[in-house]
Structure 1
Amino acid sequence: MSYPLSVTPMELFLTDEVFNKLEAKVIQAGAKALLPERIALAWHLRERDTQRALRMAEQLLAELPSEPSSAVLRLQLLRAEVHWLFADLDAAEAQALTVIQQAQQQAKEQADVLVLVMADAYVLLAMIAGDRGDLIQRRAGFDSAAALAAGCGDEFRLEFAQLGGALAALRQDLVAAVNQWLPHVRRRLSQPAHPALHLMCNEFLTFQALQQSDYATVFQLCSHTVSSLARAGMVRQVAMAMTTMGVAFSKLDDHSQALDWMQRALDLARPHGWPLVLGLALLQFGHAQRKLGALDAAQQALDEGLNLLAPLSNSRAYAFGLLYLAELQLDLGLAEAALQTAGRFEQADQPPRPTELRLSAMEVAALALSKLGRADAAHAAAQSALALAETAKLPLQLSNALSTLAILHGRHPLPAPAGMQAASPALHYLHLALTAFPPELRQSVPPSLYDAIAAECARLGDSHQAYAFGREARAASESVHRQDATKHAVASEAKFHAERAAMLNETSTTLERLSLVGQEITCQLQESAVYTTLDRHVHGLLSAHYFAVFLLTPDGERLSLSYGSEDGLRLAPYDVALSHPSAHTVRCALLRQDIFIDVDPTERPGVLLPATQPTLSAMFIPLLSGEQLLGVMSIQSTQAHAYADRERLIFRSLAAYAAIAIANARNYRQLEATLLRLNQAQAEVHQKNLELESAYQSLTNISQTDPLTGLRNRRFLELNISAEVSLTLRHYLNWQRRQEAGEVPHTSGPADVDLLFLLVDIDHFKRVNDNWGHPAGDAVLVQMRERLQQACRDSDFVVRWGGEEFLIVARSVSACSAHVIAERIRVSVAQRSFEIDGAAPLALSCSVGFAALPFIASQAERLTWQEVVGLADQALYLAKHGGRNAWVGLAATPATATMLSLNSLTHATKGAVEGGFLRIESAAKAE
């Protein structure tokens, strides 16, 4: 048999829809299938069924001539990709390089086909480099693939390679890659494209969101990847997205959800046996198990994951696995084992590990040495970690290293550090650990650090300092609790999105499959074929050990078992009279109603039909063709509660198809009536979708609303303020450009585009709670809502900021009108008494502090909105200390723009005012 030596250009990926058509065509053709189609099927099976793809490739290579034609090179490249998927990176790289070398030597008349083979080989080399942790070579591989694809005019491969290069760049320099590629990624996502390209875009945005701890975006992107982009033929990436979803849930301390998503990744990857995907999911699975306290299960998962990743010992995933294992061994009290595992980070034959991971391993080693009683060695290891953290300028890791030294000095009599001024070495290092946090990260100081300092001060007898740091620990704990609440809200919202996406995907998949099943059933013209087709699909879609179809006899007096099977064996025919007093099939036929039965498993199970096994769940559906009763269809299960709404919907649909097929086999009548039943079933699914959308909207509103006052809360502001700030800054930048171009005269700024932040605090609110109780205080806070809303416009944000403080964000105003708004708020509160149950009307006042954004008109972007709120808070402080029932505003002066650092505006406000860098606007009224 002769074959052509070349094939047409091969697609890099096919959607499932196109692939299914290709597979059906090849299978139907059998031995007559064309060579290009057989090669294409093998190529596109590489991630769908890797072993089958390899078998087909070997068979085709045995049939083809040995000359390196484009067909042979494509199959050799497939073989190389199989090596890559199974972590044999050296073999994969060698074969890919051989393919490139041989393709370069071939005749020019096959140029385009061969160039695309080379492009795909460079993509594979890039993926191999990525698994080895070599980001430079990964990017180089994608760049080479992009250049070859551009030369052939293959837009898909060009875009795929460019996005692959963007992903590599993202891991090298996050900020630079985001600046360069983010607009392109967003533009690509907004356009129709192959799902593989959208999946790559999602991977880019997911990595960026993970680095920024934007877990809501991670959930949204991963859910979209799993639900909508899983048909791109990129099974490996979909499994990785599931693992990423689990990591994000773990970061939010929702380890149960994390385990669920990692299990999904394992379930998807295990049939394929790919070491990297399986190993990574197992490592994260084990890490989450450790967080939940399931240490034995964590040990098993980590051991299996590291064993799978052993061929990839240079990878970042393997390094994480070593760290997870060392931490687990320390938890298990296996100090010697933890020390050995941590020591594997510094082996001479391994490439340098990421600094953050090295530091964590060094700290584990120090603690392990301490538990082993080797104090001097532990101290030396901790000092090495401290030196590395100082050199790397990593503040969080530096604080951890100092805290580790404090722990060691608390456990062992070690020499005091040079220059120690604290009362003990442990206290010396704890203070240094606290000061390691720069001002911008001070809110990240863990409460445990303050607690440790307080405990050491108490041990030393310094009760005053112990009390002070105890207060700091409580404040930090409250901050952590607020962060935990935010995390919980994000996790709850993400869980809703993920479950909704999974349900929609499952429903869509089920309906698609039911549609195909219906076509197969209704095209049968022989009743025996209808029954066998029904039997196959019933067992494929539902839990059923028993399936039967009863048809009404011509005399209309009996139901006859036309088809029945139990555990794969055919049942002997028998009849049931319609006069039977208790048969469920008879009741279903006479009532023409669905019957669903759940038997209590604690009771002795009965036998619903002769010769059947004991049944705990059963469904009976009448087979109706219009008004005509054809019979009854039934399935039964030995599982309790096997048939919920989804299963009932599926079985109703199958019964509808069965009735149509049986009626068609007899006379092809009443087809439209049964199809209407399927439309009703689809309408039920649509209604469920509408209910889910409504539930999601309600959840969003609840999470952004203060439960006491009904006003918006901080979460609402954080989600919505960025757009307002961007709009204001855009107006100012346009104004500056027009000024520079001479299009507008030089003024203080554009009109009515400022954002004004006003902090409002109820004066002497503590007296209300002290004198009349907290219900009275709550009543005052609720009534403040009406006063503030009356004083503000509908377009303004009115936010419950905390306690008795409110924040008003006036949009599209001029900063010069701020005092008018502040006075209107002050008067609105002061002129009307507050009504309190059981007491006379209560007269209260408020104080207002305000500042505008941009704070410096000529340098609109210098202060963030959070910093402007900080200035408003300082103004509120001045109003309070100036006598209350007053407003104070802070504004920039010409000198403000000359300041190199603006930190003193909020940290030393009084000095900034005295130095002429801040201008105060104020008006006080007698209380």
Structure 2
Amino acid sequence: MPPTVQRFTTDDVLASAQARIGSLTGEALAAALVELAWHLRQRDTQRALDLAAQAEACLPTQASGPTRARLQLVRAEGAWLLGDLDAAERWLGQARGDAPADAAVQGDADWLDASLVNDRGRYDQREVAIARSGERATAAGDAERADLARLALQCFDAFGDPGAALSEHGDAVRARLDDPRPAVAALAHSFMHHGLAAVGRYAEAITHGLHAAELALQTGQVRRALIDTTNAATVYLDLNDVDAALALLNENLVRARATGWPQTTGVTLANVALAMFKAGRHAMAVEVADEALAVLAGSRHAKPWYIAAQARATIAIDQGDWATARRLCKTILAAPMQGDMIEMRRFASQALAEALLGQGEVSAAHDHAAQALDLAIHSGDLTAQIDAHRVLARIARRSHAHTQPGALESLQRALEIAENHPDITLPPALLDELAAEQQQAGRFEGACATWQRAVAARDAQGRHDASRRAVALEVRFKTERALADAQRQRELAEAESRRAEELAQVNDRLRGALAELEAAQGLLTRRNAELREAYAAMKDLSLTDPLTGLRNRRFLSQTIDQDIAHTVRQHETRALRAQQGEARADARSNGRPDLLFFLVDLDHFKAVNDTHGHAAGDEVLRQFKDRLQAVFRDSDHIVRWGGEEFLVVARGSRRECAAALAQRLCRHVAEQPFVLPGGGALTQTCSIGYAPFPPDPLQPREADWVSVVERADQRLYQAKAAGRNRWVGEPGDRIDHPDCTG
């Protein structure tokens, strides 16, 4: 096994490793089996473990070294994923002993060790393990592993203080977003997700999170992909867009169940349960949370079980199921957890206090609520301190003891915390509770003022919630657009790949023709003709969209400058004549020779592919080309811009006629159904954004064609946002302009 085997790799490397196995025997076969198992450890854990067993049978009994060490790493990661942390640590120790001087093996052992200590709640040791992995990689000159460690540590910074991490590391991480090594790019996108979500750039954060998940899947990091997708869903939940969050979480759950990993599946179930609870689907939330606990029954001393227990206890407290909440919270507090799991202990203490209060055990409830407050103060969590004081106030109302703060005093402390920290939104319920206590104490004037503040706070909360709902809708729209753009770019890349293959074939023909020319001068005339045909075919192919036969972006970039220069000269000539009195109209008069840029996009085209198949989608695009050619002239440039988007440049046209052209195309598309390959019919619409060149006829050199296309793209976006099947152009444009009849 080469010591430089990648930690994470793509499917093509996996296929190469698979292909080598058939021709090998003995230790060479063992090395190839272990490499394949290593790349499959998260893609197909059980198969990876089976391959490891086959590899061991090919190795000498007492053999050690990198091959056996990585075999043990496969077993260690398999045990971790299947929920047996103790076995994972034993295999990890054996791997370290089998190849003590191999930097890649030791660094990968450190990387896995970070996951193990994380699941045991020892976060401080997690960062030490990652740092040690990076140091080994740097010393060995392993750039990819060193970059992975550096980005992982930066992600940990983003977990703790996203704003500060974004400020400190943002520029360096952005440079890695398009890294050709997908595992590195995945961590860069994950970092940007956390940083941007913290500063309110939600659409970008979700897009980065989902892109991180996609890249993680490409490199076999299934668990990382599940986490990144959950993080994106969490942003939707924070914006109260529960439907979008559940869509991502349910997709995650399908993938998690397929892995057979109990801890990952259990945590995913717990997240789905909390989302359902937030959506008001309480019965289903209980069912899913109970399933999470059942799945994790064999991992009672690992962090995932406590996450599921916390989710189930949250639901139980809300429903007044005191017995369930009490049982789970006591289990959490009695757990032999290590490390910095203060937040989980604080939650369990407070929830247990509420459960005990619900069962009438006031004194015990007070002790646990006080413990929750101490933990909140220790961690600096101000919101948790407010919640603890409110619980203490409820306990004080039921208590007859005079040695503890009263309800009024506890609520006043909670209010003081909220008022002294502008980042905290004042809870209207806290003001309601305080006003009721003030009234009970005979402080009527204070109670009246507090109730007035509660009304104002509730109004502010309503406005805030409405704003969040609006933001959520905008985020979902922008995210879906970004994902659609990414899909379009992938389609473009695939088309470019196909074009490259065709160009390669043409090049092969050229090389063959040249070889024949060298061999037989007598065939010179015929071969020259073949060469000219091949060159013409290659040039035409490079400028043509292979599906529709329309021109492509490269064609436009090669021809548009001449059209722009011609248009600018005509405008300047017309303006000069107007100044010299040679024409009655000035430079703003009708009839100018403009260039009109139309960006046209088929509406809901993805649904055509999803419902009828890609063959139907291709046929719709070909028929759409015919409709474009029916509306526009032969002299106009019609370009497939990408995917279902087309750019039309109407040459030598008048801007007054742009609206009529756009309207005519919308009708021509919508009024005649598209014929599908199987004989069915499909009604389809399009959206259009257009802009004229030059934008200002008096200053024709002040703009370029790229900025005009960008303006048309913005207007296309407006047309889609306004409901699709429409056009957006210059303000005041009309389809019945008197100069554009007929």
The interval holding the TM-score normalised by the smaller chain is 0.5 to 0.7
Select which of 335, 352, 357 maps to 1:370.
357
**1:135–1:172 Cα contact (<8 Å) kept:** no
Distance 1:309 1:199, change over 3 A: farther
- The Cα shift of 1:213 comes to 6.1
Quote the residue 1:167 is aligned against: 155
Query: Which 5+ residue runs of structure 1 have no aligned equivalent?
Result: 1-5, 105-110, 520-641, 657-678, 703-927
Name 1:491's counterpart in structure 2. Answer: 472
RMSD value, Cα: 4.0
* Partners of 1:389 and 1:163 in 2: CA distance: 30
Question: Of residues 261, 265, 283 in structure 2, which corresponds to 1:278?
Answer: 265
User: Following superposition of structure 1 onto structure 2, how do residues 308-319 of structure 1 map, counting pairs within 5 Å?
Assistant: 308-310=295-297, 313=300, 316-319=303-306
Cα distance, 1:81 vs. partner? 1.7
Separation in 2 of the partners of 1:310 and 1:168? 29
Task: Using CA pairs under 8 Å that are at least 6 residues apart, name the structure with larger relative contact order, 1 or 2.
Answer: 2
For the 8 Å contact 1:227–1:505, the answer to whether it is kept is: no
Q: For residues 462-489 of structure 1, give each alpha carbon's deviation from its aligned partner in whole angstroms, at most 9, with x where no partner exists.
A: 5543332222112212322232233223
**What is the Cα deviation at residue 270 of structure 1?**
1.6
In structure 1, the residue matched to 2:108 is: 120
Could you tell me which residue of structure 2 aligns to residue 441 of structure 1? 422
Give the strand-richer structure, 1 or 2: 1
Give the conservation status (yes or no) of the 8 Å contact 1:518–1:654: no
Matched, 1:325 2:312: yes
CA positional deviation for 1:416: 4.7
Corresponding residue to 1:234 among 215, 221, 232: 221
Cα deviation, 1:610-666, whole Å, max 9, x if unaligned, reads: xxxxxxxxxxxxxxxxxxxxxxxxxxxxxxxx984544351337999xxxxxxxxxx
Residue aligning to 2:64: 68
Return closer, same or farther for 1:486/1:428 CA change in 2, 3 Å cut-off: same
CA distance in 1: counterparts of 2:117 and 2:136, whole angstroms = 19
- Residue 482 of structure 1: which of 446, 463, 466 is its match? 463
Aligned in 2, Cα 1:156/1:463: closer, same or farther, shift over 3 Å?
A: same
User: Which amino acid in structure 1 is aligned with residue 87 of structure 2?
Assistant: A
Q: Which residue of 2 aligns with 1:650?
A: 614
Q: CA distance change for structure 1 residues 11 and 347 in 2, over 3 Å: closer, same or farther?
A: same
**SS of 2:43 mapped into structure 1:** coil
Matches within 5 A, 1:39-118: 39-66=34-61, 67-104=63-100, 114-118=102-106
1:376-391 equivalences under 5 Å are 376-390=363-377
Larger radius of gyration: 1
Q: Secondary structure at the match of 2:385?
A: helix
2:588 paired residue number: none
1:471 aligned to which of 424, 447, 452: 452
Pairing 1:453–2:453 present = no
Report if the CA contact (8 A) 2:121-2:303 is conserved: yes
**2-side partners of 1:121 and 1:193: how far apart?**
25
Does residue 415 of structure 1 match 2:401? yes
CA distance in 1, matches of 2:443, 2:150: 62
Q: How far 1:8 moved relative to its partner?
A: 5.8
SS in 2 for 1:440: coil
| Alpha-carbon separation, structure 1, partners of 2:716 and 2:277 | 32
What is the alpha-carbon distance in structure 2 between the residues aligned to residue 338 and residue 41 of structure 1? 46
The question of 1:134 aligning with 2:98 is answered: no
- Alpha-carbon distance between aligned partners in 1 of 2:138 and 2:297, rounded to the nearest angstrom: 37
Q: C-alpha offsets along residues 299-321 of structure 1, whole Å, 9 cap, x if unaligned?
A: 22222323444565555544333
User: % of aligned pairs identical?
Assistant: 28
Deviation at 1:335, TM superposition (A): 0.9
- Give, as a single letter, the amino acid of the residue that structure 2 aligns with 1:73: A
Relative to structure 1, the CA distance from residue 653 to residue 290 in structure 2 (aligned partners, 3 Å threshold; closer, same or farther) is closer
Contact 1:242 1:264 in 2 (8 A): no
Moved more, 223-232 or 266-275: 223-232
Deviation at 1:240, TM superposition (A): 1.1
Partner Cα distance (1:433, 1:328) in 2: 24
Deviation digits for residues 1-33 of structure 1, max 9, x if unmatched? Answer: xxxxx546312222234434554x448879999
Contact 1:146 1:158 in 2 (8 A): yes
- Asked if the contact 2:165/2:195 (under 8 Å) is kept, the reply is no
**By how many angstroms is 1:235 displaced?**
2.0
Between the aligned partners of 1:122 and 1:17, the Cα distance in structure 2 is 26
Q: Which residue of 2 aligns with 1:843?
A: none
Contact 1:287 1:298 in 2 (8 A): yes
TM-score scaled to structure 2, two decimals? 0.64
Q: Which moved more, 1:151-160 or 1:483-492?
A: 483-492
Q: Structure 1's 404 and 650: CA in aligned 2 closer, same or farther, altered over 3 A?
A: same
Q: Following TM superposition, by how much is the alpha carbon of 1:222 offset from its aligned partner in structure 2, in angstroms? A: 0.9
Separation of aligned partners in 1, 2:155 and 2:49: 29
Distance 1:436 1:51 in 2: 52
One-letter amino acid of the structure 2 residue matched with residue 53 of structure 1 = A
8 Å Cα contact 2:267-2:307 kept in structure 1: no
User: Is the CA contact 2:333–2:349 (under 8 Å) kept in the aligned structure 1?
Assistant: no
Q: Superposition pairs for residues 843-882 of structure 1, below 5 Å?
A: none
What is the CA-CA distance between 1:263 and the residue it aligns to? 0.8
| Uncovered stretches (5+) of structure 2, i.e. residues with no partner | 501-605, 621-638, 648-685, 690-711, 723-742
Secondary structure of residue in 1 paired with 2:259: coil
Deviations 1:534-567 (A, max 9, x none): xxxxxxxxxxxxxxxxxxxxxxxxxxxxxxxxxx
Residue 522 of structure 2 aligns with which residue? none
Instruction: Supply the distance in 2 between the matched residues of 1:33 and 1:71 (Cα, whole angstroms).
Output: 9
CA distance in structure 2 between the partners assigned to 1:359 and 1:86 by the alignment: 29
Q: Which residue of 1 aligns with 2:137?
A: 149
Give, in angstroms, the shift of residue 431 of structure 1: 2.1
Cα distance change on mapping 1:182 and 1:456 into 2, 3 Å: same
Report the Cα distance in structure 2 between the residues aligned to 1:85 and 1:140, rounded to whole angstroms: 21
CA–CA separation in structure 2 for the residues paired with 1:339 and 1:122? 38
Take 2:95 and 2:279, find their aligned partners in 1: how far apart are those partners?
48
1-structure distance, mates of 2:374, 2:400:
18
Residue 193 of structure 2 is aligned with which of 198, 202, 206?
Answer: 206
Code of the residue aligned with 1:98 in structure 2: it is Q
Q: Residue type matched to 1:382 in 2?
A: A
TM superposition shift of 1:287: 0.9
C-alpha contact 1:223 1:498 (8 A) present in aligned 2: no
SS where residue 430 of structure 1 aligns?
Answer: helix
Structure 1 length normalisation: TM-score?
A: 0.52
Q: Which has the higher helix share?
A: 2
